Structure 1
């Protein structure tokens, strides 16, 4: 009995030392068979793309981007960005305010003109949009001759549009020589006062050559 106890308390000898096993996932202690394991069999190793594969992928993306840009460039826009199309004309509704003369120049700088109204339908469209913004300059004035209203393109005010003046207007109250959209009609205002403004230019043709 004592011999058995001594055998259990005796330190491990060289033949009993733990050593890693070659086929298992752990240690094998000689004489005891204890075998906790570490296994690499189920570990996934991700593949790193080669230089050639990365280069081919980049060329594919570049080609697709080039085709996309070509397609966008081929699309026809009748009006520039931030302009509104209505009956074959483009309109720019300003977000800032200028006096009447500076509004004329601002439109010219964009290759357009301060809006000239040619039809009742156009008037209704512009009046509605201007009403939502507030007092807005149009390209109409009697600066050249008092009481003779003329558009910036040199044409005179048509009689059919003259009924758009608000009641009692134009009254030239305090030297008012420039026309504006105000509420539901037109008003003559002081040209030096800053207001919103509207530019107009013909829409681009998108017909096939």
Structure 2
């Protein structure tokens, strides 16, 4: 019995010890279970928040894109409207310029016809004066020679000889005056240019022809030669302004100027070097694979170097 009692006591002690160990271990395991219980619920909530933020960012981005698209569309419409207005203004301006040019051409044509008629009358009067002076010179010279011959035939004294010398001096003086008058009338005749062909424009003592088609520089030079003229050579600022005023269209006209012989050494067709020039800013620049060796003039009066094979209009000039 004593042995059974000891065995029962030992079993009870073992049970108590086991319970105590289980109680000590149970608190240590409870925090882990709490953490593990939180883990499954946390990730879905964070994913939802992240998705919400992404959705809001996407909506905001789309709003910005739509606003920018609207702004770009408005700016494009405004630009197209401005371009249309600019084109209309340009068209209107050229139409007005054409009307002004037509009115000026009509007015100038009438005035030029009147001036031409007056110049013809003046030219006829000058020719009549020349003929009368020539006739007077011949008659007066004959009369003076007859008087001198008559005085020489007479055997008169000193007064007659003195009179003879005076007559000779008078004859010489009259001849000088007549020669001077003839030269002045010839110069006066040269000042009036009344023989420009139809379709040619007159400036000073030179006639100019403005083509309406395009040719290369060499072909334009040949065309002027067939008309008994040459490509225009500019010798003064007034002549340059005259050519520019007769170029109303947006195009260029060949001049008789090139540097074909030596690059950069620009010469006129008559061999003269440049004494004055009216190059556009940055010109001549000789750009392109084949270079630019021939000169043109535009309605602004400025020159430009162009490839000689380009097809441009041209200006011929010839004397009256």
The partner residue of 2:203 within 86, 100, 104 is 86
Q: Whose relative contact order is higher, 1 or 2, with alpha carbons under 8 Å and at least 6 apart?
A: 1
Aligned counterparts of 2:297 and 2:245: Cα–Cα separation in 1:
9
Paired with 2:299 and 2:239, the residues of 1 have a C-alpha distance of 16
* Contact 2:246 2:299 survives alignment (8 Å): no
Q: Following the alignment from structure 2 to structure 1, what is the Cα–Cα distance between the partners of residues 242 and 299?
A: 13
Alignment partner of 1:166 out of 280, 283, 288: 280
Structure with the larger helix share: 2
Instruction: State whether residues 104 and 114 of structure 1, in contact with CA within 8 Å, keep that contact through their aligned partners in structure 2.
Output: yes
Contact 2:252–2:297 under 8 Å retained in 1? yes
Q: Which has the higher strand share?
A: 1
Is the Cα contact below 8 Å between 2:214 and 2:314 reproduced in 1? yes
TM-score by length of 1: 0.58
Aligned position for 1:197 = 314
Structure 2 partner of 1:13: none
Counterpart pick for 2:293 among 163, 171, 177: 177
Change in Cα spacing, 1:133 to 1:110, as seen in structure 2 (3 Å) is: farther
Tell me the equivalent position of 1:22.
none
Q: Give every structure 1 segment of 4 or more consecutive aligned residues whose post-TM-superposition deviation is greater than 6 Å.
A: none
Instruction: Find the partner of 1:137 among 237, 250, 254.
Output: 254
Alpha-carbon separation, structure 2, partners of 1:178 and 1:92: 19
Q: Give 5+ residue unaligned stretches, structure 2.
A: 1-123, 125-192
Instruction: Report the equivalent of 1:103.
Output: 220
Q: Where in structure 2 are the equivalents of 1:33-72 lying within 5 Å?
A: none
**Aligned equivalents of 1:191, 1:128: Cα separation in 2:** 24
Residue 135 of structure 1 contacts residue 180 of structure 1 at CA under 8 Å; is this kept in 2? yes
Write the distance in 1 (CA, Å) between the matches of 2:248 and 2:296: 11
Q: Please identify the structure whose Cα radius of gyration is greater.
A: 2
SS at match of 1:85: strand
**8 Å contact from structure 1 (residues 79, 85) kept in 2:** yes
TM-aligned CA deviation for residue 132 of structure 1 = 3.1
Partner of 2:68: none
| Aligned-residue CA RMSD (Å) | 1.8
Change (3 A) 1:171 1:186: same
- Give 1:109 deviation, angstroms: 0.6
- Secondary structure at the counterpart of residue 263 of structure 2: coil
- Please report how far the alpha carbon of residue 153 of structure 1 lies from its aligned counterpart in structure 2 after TM superposition: 1.0
Q: 1:155 corresponds to which residue? A: 272
How many residues align? The count is 127
Deviations 1:158-188 (A, max 9, x none): 1xx22x1000000001100000013421000
Q: Deviations over 1:54-111 (max 9, x none)?
A: xxxxxxxxxxxxxxxxxxxxx9942011101111100000011101000000000111
